[in-house]
Amino acid sequence: MTNPAAPPESHAHTAAPPAHHGVSETTRLEAFSDGVFAIAITLLVLEIRPPTHAETHAIGLWAALASRWPSYLAYVVSFVTIGVMWANHHSIFQYIRRTDRAFVLLNVMLLLFISFLPYPTAVLADYLPEPAYRRIGALFYSGTLVVIALAYNAVWHYGVWRGRLLGHDADTNAVRTITYRYLFGPLLYGVSFVLAVFDAWLALAMHGFLMLFFALSERRTVVRRRHRES
C-alpha cells in the first residue's frame, strides 16, 4: 500500500551535453587514412622487379641486381616522403579533433593523390637511366608532389579555419607554425618541378631537402621561438 504523503518519484534525466551538428570525432578517419598510407608505402616495393633469368645468365646476378639502382633510389625517396607525410598527417590530428563531411572529402582527395604516388615513382625509376626521358619522369614525379602539397593545404586550412574543428586545447603557436610551413609546400615542390625542366638530378636533390624540411617537428620550432622571445 502506497503512502499518499510520500513525494512523487522523479523521472527527470540528466541533460546530455550539446552536440555539434554535422561534426564527429576523427578516430575512424584516422584509421582509414593510416590504412591508405600503409598500402601506398607498401606498393612502392612492388615496383622493384627482380632480375630475369636471361639477365642473370648474361651479366651475372650481382650485376643484374646493381642495374636496378634507379628503382632503389626512387623507392627510398618515395618511401621517406610518404613516411614524412604520414607523420605530418598524424600531427594534424593532434590539433584537429573533430570532422565534418567537407573535411572528410578533402582528406579523401589527399589520400587519392598519395595512393597515386607509387605510379610516378615507377615511371621515374624506369626512365632515370635514360638521358632523353629522365627529365620528363622527374617532371611527372615533381608535379604529383605539387598536387599533394596543394591537397595537404586544403585539408589543413579547412580544418583550422576559424578554429571550428580544432581541439579546445590546441596549441595556437604550433598551429601557426604548421600553417606557415604548409604554405611553403606547393612553392617548394614547384621549385623542384622547375628544376626538373633543366636537370632531373637537381630536382631529386630538392626532394631530399624537402624530406628533411617537412620532417622537422613544429613543437621544436615553437620552443626555439619562445626561447628567443624570452
**Residue 218 pLDDT greater than 80, yes or no:** no
62/136 Cα distance (integer angstroms): 29
This prediction's pTM: 0.81
Comparing CA positions, the residue from 174, 197, 204, 222 lying closest to residue 80 is 204
Band of pLDDT at residue 220, cut at 50, 70 and 90: low
25 against 142, higher pLDDT: 142
Q: What per-residue confidence (pLDDT) applies to 169?
A: 81
**pLDDT confidence of residue 149:** 95
Buried/exposed code over 9-33 (b: 16+ C-beta within 10 A; e: otherwise): eeeeeeeeeeeeeeeeebeebbeeb
Please name the residues in contact with 165: beta carbons below 8 A apart, sequence gap of 6 or more: 23, 96, 97, 98, 99, 100, 103, 158, 159
Q: Which three cell numbers, joined as nine digits, stand for 141?
A: 614525379
- Retrieve residue 188's grid coordinates: 617548394
> Residue 129 above 70 pLDDT?
yes
Instruction: Give the C-alpha separation, 176 to 193, whole Å.
Output: 27
Tens of pLDDT, residue by residue over 30-39, are 999 999 999 9
* Mean pLDDT value of segment 147-158: 95
Mean pLDDT within 6-28: 53
Which position has the grid cell 587514412?
33
Q: What is the mean pLDDT of the chain?
A: 86
